[in-house]
Every structure is written in C-alpha cells, then in structure tokens.
Copies of this chain bind each other. A is one copy, B any other.
Amino acid sequence: MALIEYEDATPEVRAVYDDIMAVRQTDWINNFWKALANDPESLRRTWENLRTVMEPGALDPVVKEMVYLAVSVTNGCEYCVASHTAGARKAGMTDAMFGELMAVTGMANQTNRLAVGYRIPVDDRFKE
C-alpha cells in the first residue's frame, strides 16, 4: 500500500496532515497516517479520535502515552511500539520510567495467565 506524501495528497488529506503537525508541534508526518490516507475517511476519523483521546485531561499526556505503549507491547505491534516509545519519550518518559513500565507490563502479562490457569473465582469484594 503506497504511503501518500504531503505533496501528492488531496486537499482533504492535507488538511488532516496540517492538523497533525500543528497539534504535535512537529514538521513531519509518520508512516501510519501516510498509509491510512489511502482511505481519507478512515484517516480523518482515526485522527480526530486519537487527538481527542490523547489530549490532556484527567490523565497526563505522558501517562496516556505509556498506557498506549503498554497495550502495544502486549499486542506485539512492532510499529506501534516504535512510534509510541518515541511519543512517550517526547512527553517526558525517562529511562527509569520506561524500565518500570516494562516491568509492570511484563508482570501483568504473567499474572493474567496465572489467574486464568488456576481458574480463580472473582472475590465477592471485587464485584462491587
């Protein structure tokens, strides 16, 4: 699938690219968006959702990026791990934070399986 560069993009696609660069305060577009641009409606919808979901709110941007990274690691998505490691770094993730994030992610994946394998019933207190 072709990656659609800015200079080859339709005005509709360029408008999304412009917004991505403005929101992220950067001057380039990464391949994810250049690929999605093959389906301009998906590009627009995905970007709008991502922008809304990732903007500062009750959670800090760096926390949101780290959660995104932990999920991407769990799903084994190479592209997403690369891009969200960069995103989390840019938002302030230090080496120490990355180390702890991976430790928590690894631990969760381990105990998730133990809970399934031992077929553990949910405690009444956890049922609210």
Residues of A within 8 A of B (CB): 1, 3, 28, 30-32, 35-36, 38-39, 41-42, 45-46, 49-50, 52-54, 57-59, 63-64, 66-86, 94-97, 99-123, 125-128
A110: which B residues are within 8 A, CB to CB?
46, 106-107, 109-110
A70: which B residues are within 8 A, CB to CB?
67, 70-71
Give the copy number: 6
CB pair A94–B59 under 8 Å, yes or no, is no
The 4 closest A-B pairs by CB, nearest first: A39-B99, A71-B108, A58-B96, A110-B110
CB pair B101–A67 under 8 Å, yes or no, is yes
A50: which B residues are within 8 A, CB to CB?
107, 111
CA distance A126 to B95 in the complex (A): 16
CB pair B113–A73 under 8 Å, yes or no, is yes
* Known interface pairs A50-B107, A112-B77; A102-B45 also in contact (CB < 8 Å): no
CA distance A116 to B69 in the complex (A): 11
CB pair B120–A59 under 8 Å, yes or no, is no
CA distance A18 to B116 in the complex (A): 25
A59: which B residues are within 8 A, CB to CB?
66, 97, 100-101, 104
* Known interface pairs A39-B99, A74-B74; A112-B109 also in contact (CB < 8 Å): yes
